[in-house]
């Protein structure tokens, strides 16, 4: 059994013990959503114990107390808890007009047992300069805030009550674009990398899947990928929201754009 601390991912814990899901769900009613396999796959891989404690309105110690009887060792000192989001209202919200706020209430989607990520990403893509996306939810979407932060979005969560949280996302579109790594924009080393993994390639085709199934399918395949293997993915676009997740999981990748609507990816351990 592994040693856990405030920064241990919930997904890692769930893989280690079959009783971990029930133990975590018992901490807070808000964790019942983890029983939904789609939401569990999407959230658990990104949320640490520290992040989940914010979502569930509980303490990090509550997690430790529930998981220790299952055999998990606790290291409270080795890694500090991730920093809290800044609670001070940001400048972009202070003087913004109502017409510049785009609102999306995802509570009905989640209550229906579905994943709202595709709706959120579509709204994010359609934002114009100066606009702010307001997500209405029943909890603070901390993993989403970290995910979109990697895409250049600032976020601010306002907790109205136990069942109502308004989270705002804003991107300074006039800011200088972040430098893009060459492996995201070119196929440099593609042929050499394919040859390197000859006989050790696993293949998946997500071109016909609707969101968020491509990302979930790829992550599930990577969970079962041998350490010396590589995953060859047929995709219809560069999966920009998958790339930060790969970096977090210490995967490297190569991308080859075949044509408009056809992209190939090669994913392997760094």
pLDDT digits over 40-59, tens only? 776 777 788 988 887 788 88
Do 68 and 99 lie in a common domain?
no
Find the CATH number of the domain harbouring 55: 1.10.3910
Name the DSSP letter for residue 166: E
β-pairing, 101-105 with 132-137? parallel
Residue 82 in any domain: the answer is no
Do 45 and 123 lie in a common domain?
no
Percent of the chain whose pLDDT exceeds 70: 86
More confident residue, 217 or 150: 217
Q: Which of 8-12, 38-42, 46-50, 187-191 has the highest mean pLDDT?
A: 8-12
Domain boundary, last residue among 147, 170, 193: 170
Question: With 90 as the cut, is the pLDDT of residue 231 above it?
Answer: yes
Q: Comparing C-alpha atoms, which of 260, 255, 91, 71 is closest to residue 170?
A: 91
Question: With 60 as the cut, is the pLDDT of residue 183 above it?
Answer: no
Q: Using CA atoms in the order 39, 45, 48, 52, what is the torsion angle rounded to 10 degrees?
A: 0
Residue 175 in any domain: the answer is no
Taking the C-alpha atoms of residue 243 and residue 241, their distance in angstroms, rounded to an integer, is 6
Do 139 and 199 lie in a common domain?
no
Domain boundary, last residue among 136, 170, 204: 170
The CA distances from residue 114 to 5, 105, 110, in Å, are 30, 13, 5
Specify the pTM: 0.52
Mean pLDDT of 25-51: 81
Q: Which residues have CB under 8 Å from 37's CB, separation 6+?
A: none
Taking the C-alpha atoms of residue 205 and residue 141, their distance in angstroms, rounded to an integer, is 30
Give the pLDDT band of residue 177 (cuts 50, 70, 90). very low
What digits encode the pLDDT tens for the residues 100-129? 999 999 989 877 767 787 788 889 888 888
The Cβ of residue 96 has, within 10 Å, a number of other Cβ atoms equal to: 16
Query: Helices 213-223 and 37-44: crossing angle, nearest 10°?
Result: 70
The Cβ of residue 111 has, within 10 Å, a number of other Cβ atoms equal to: 10
Find the CATH number of the domain harbouring 103: 3.30.110
Do 58 and 112 lie in a common domain?
no
Q: Which of 62-71, 93-102, 238-247 has the highest mean pLDDT?
A: 62-71
Taking the C-alpha atoms of residue 250 and residue 244, their distance in angstroms, rounded to an integer, is 10
Note down the domain range covering 67: 3-74
Domain boundary, last residue among 107, 136, 170: 170
Whether 47 and 53 have beta carbons less than 8 Å apart is answered as: no
Do 47 and 115 lie in a common domain?
no
β-pairing, 230-235 with 201-205? parallel
Do 69 and 33 lie in a common domain?
yes
Q: Side by side, which strands form the sheet with 154-161?
A: 101-105, 132-137, 164-170, 154-161
Residue 176 in any domain: the answer is no
Domain count, the chain: 3
| Backbone torsion region of residue 232, taken as left when φ is above 0, otherwise alpha when ψ lies between -120 and 50, otherwise beta | beta
Beta bridge partner(s), residue 168: 134, 156
Taking the C-alpha atoms of residue 146 and residue 20, their distance in angstroms, rounded to an integer, is 24
């Amino acid at each position: 059994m592994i040693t856990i601390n405030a920064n241990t991912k919930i997904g890692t814990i769930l893989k280690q013990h079959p009783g971990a899901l029930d133990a975590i769900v018992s901490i807070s009613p808000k964790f019942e959503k983890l029983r939904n396999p789609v939401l569990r796959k999407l959230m658990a891989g990104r949320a640490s114990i520290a992040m989940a404690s914010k979502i569930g309105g509980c303490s990090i110690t509550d997690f430790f107390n529930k998981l220790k009887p299952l055999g998990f060792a606790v290291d409270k000192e080795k890694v500090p808890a991730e920093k809290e989001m800044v609670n001070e209202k940001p400048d972009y919200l202070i003087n913004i007009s109502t017409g510049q706020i785009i609102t999306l209430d995802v509570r009905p989607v989640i209550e229906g047992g579905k994943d709202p990520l595709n709706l959120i990403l579509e709204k994010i893509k359609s934002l114009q300069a100066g606009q702010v996306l307001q997500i209405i939810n029943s909890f603070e979407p901390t993993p989403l805030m970290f995910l979109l932060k990697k895409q250049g979005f600032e976020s601010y969560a306002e907790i109205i009550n136990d069942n109502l949280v308004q989270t705002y996302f804003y991107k300074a579109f006039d800011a200088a674009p972040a430098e893009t790594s060459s492996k995201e924009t070119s196929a440099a080393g593609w042929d050499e990398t394919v040859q390197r993994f000859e006989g050790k390639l696993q293949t998946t085709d997500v071109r016909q899947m609707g969101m968020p199934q491509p990302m979930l399918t790829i992550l599930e395949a990577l969970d079962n990928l041998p350490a010396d293997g590589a995953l060859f993915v047929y995709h219809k676009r560069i999966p920009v929201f998958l790339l930060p997740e790969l970096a977090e999981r210490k995967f490297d990748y190569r991308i080859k754009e075949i044509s408009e609507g056809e992209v190939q990816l090669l994913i392997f351990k760094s």
